[in-house]
Structure 1
Amino acid sequence: MATRAVLFDIDGTLVDSNEQHVNAWAFAFREEGRPQELDDIRAQIGKGGDLLIPALIPDASDALRERLSKRHGKHFHGSYLTGIRAFACAAELVERTHRSGRKVVLASSAKKDELDHYVELLGVADCLAARTSIDDVETSKPEPDIFGVALQKVGVEPGDAIVVGDTIYDIEAATRAGIAAIGLTTGPFDEGQLKDAGAIAVYSDVGELLAEFDRSPLAD
């Protein structure tokens, strides 16, 4: 495989935001009288609300799903978004990937306004060939739609791309799209779970991946 494009997930991969999402969802579920255990929410992080909510409340009506999503957004934006920080070496990894001649795409289940905030936080706008968000697709990860749209935007075939993500849902979505994937253990899943989901390599964080760049699948 000659890697022409690298598709980065953002939440939990480049920015340290997973627990903030967990807490925002916990508030939302509790306010609607359907409280959930934090570990149960954590196990679904990496999905968009369209799939996270029915995974936890299979009988949720459309109206309840809409209310939960709005409450999550209210808490996430109101209490957490501005305090989120990038992982050490995240921007440097994006820049290194860009300098290597590969197209860099941010392919996330985040909402567009959150994605824009993260791009500004990372300071990597000039490195990006494209960006995709949940607003570009009807269904979030682990469905492959986001990665499919990302590849279309940069004109790259699945076999010439690689995904970097922190959840099994990133890995599963990549596999369904025919894209190889690297896992990071900065999310709620360990090395074994990421490899079982199909990751071809797993690193502890973006810093380790950057340090191992020339020996990693990114350099293939």
Structure 2
Amino acid sequence: MTVKALLFDFDGTLLNTNELIIQTFMHVLEERFPGQYSPKDCLKFIGPSLKQTFSDITPGEEDEMIANYRTWNMLHHDELVTEYPDVVSTLEQLKSMGIKLAIVSTKRNEMIDRGLSILGATHLFEIRIGSNDVKNVKPDPEPVLLALERLGLTKEEAIMIGDNSHDIEAAHNAGVRAAGVAWSIRGAQYLQQFNPEYLLQGMSDLFDIVKEG
């Protein structure tokens, strides 16, 4: 089946937000649990939604913790995010080839838009699915299925690309092929245990995948 669309996670896949996320978690957790968390501890919080994470860490205090997280995160967002190599140029070439591009993220829509603006890539995406659009975030299949519905495509015509287990699991739960990115902060070996159909060493690997179908 011909690949007609690529569905991308955002954080850690298209935009390097790892340092921003880790520093934000360290800020809010240091206030609440002084000296109990290290930056390495925060790696496991990359991927799940804030609600899932804070429900585990501070049950009953999720709303307050999420508010603190978002306040610090928004304040430092632009200074701490960085670009991955060849992301925008690859996306531009894929779009010129007629491939539909979409964002499927657990991030809030306004922050996806902010990140896309920093990348200069807003115009490249047909749609973006954020946490505002769904009841159930990844690894639930709902965001992936909603993206397909809005694109008017079948499961066989799309590939979901991400840096986290939630991305691969959401794709497979929706019956869609998945690609992990080797530049994931957790590493390629971590992703391989979730059996993605593809593992990208660089963004340009997508050209061969699209051509092969």
Aligned equivalent of 1:155 = 152
Identity in percent: 22
1:74 paired residue among 66, 71, 75:
71
Q: 2:113 & 2:207 partners in 1: Cα distance?
A: 29
Task: Give the total of aligned pairs.
Answer: 212
TM-score by length of 1: 0.88
Aligned equivalent of 1:186 = 183
Q: 1:218 & 1:33 partners in 2: Cα distance?
A: 50
Aligned equivalent of 1:171 = 168
Aligned equivalent of 2:96 = 99
Q: Look up the SS of the partner of 1:209 in the other structure.
A: coil
Q: 2:67 & 2:78 partners in 1: Cα distance?
A: 15
Gap runs ≥5 in structure 2: none
Q: 1:186 & 1:67 partners in 2: Cα distance?
A: 32
Alpha-carbon offset, residue 170 of structure 1: 1.0
Aligned equivalent of 2:206 = 213
More displaced 10-residue stretch of structure 1: 32-41 or 113-122: 32-41
Gap runs ≥5 in structure 1: none
Q: Which amino acid aligns with 1:30?
A: E
Alpha-carbon contact 1:50-1:140 (below 8 Å) kept: no
Alpha-carbon contact 1:50-1:139 (below 8 Å) kept: no
Alpha-carbon offset, residue 219 of structure 1: 4.5
Aligned equivalent of 2:26 = 26
Q: 2:80 & 2:188 partners in 1: Cα distance?
A: 28
Q: 1:79 & 1:47 partners in 2: Cα distance?
A: 21
Alpha-carbon contact 2:17-2:80 (below 8 Å) kept: no
Query: Structure 1 219/100 Cα, relative in aligned 2: closer, same or farther at 3 Å?
Result: farther
Alpha-carbon contact 1:6-1:218 (below 8 Å) kept: no
Q: Which amino acid aligns with 2:203?
A: L
Q: Look up the SS of the partner of 1:113 in the other structure.
A: helix
1:203 paired residue among 191, 195, 200:
200
Q: Which amino acid aligns with 2:207?
A: D
Alpha-carbon contact 1:141-1:173 (below 8 Å) kept: yes
Q: 1:36 & 1:191 partners in 2: Cα distance?
A: 25
Q: Look up the SS of the partner of 2:180 in the other structure.
A: strand
Aligned equivalent of 2:84 = 87
Q: 2:22 & 2:80 partners in 1: Cα distance?
A: 15
Alpha-carbon contact 2:200-2:206 (below 8 Å) kept: no
Alpha-carbon offset, residue 214 of structure 1: 3.4
More displaced 10-residue stretch of structure 1: 19-28 or 35-44: 35-44
TM-score by length of 2: 0.90
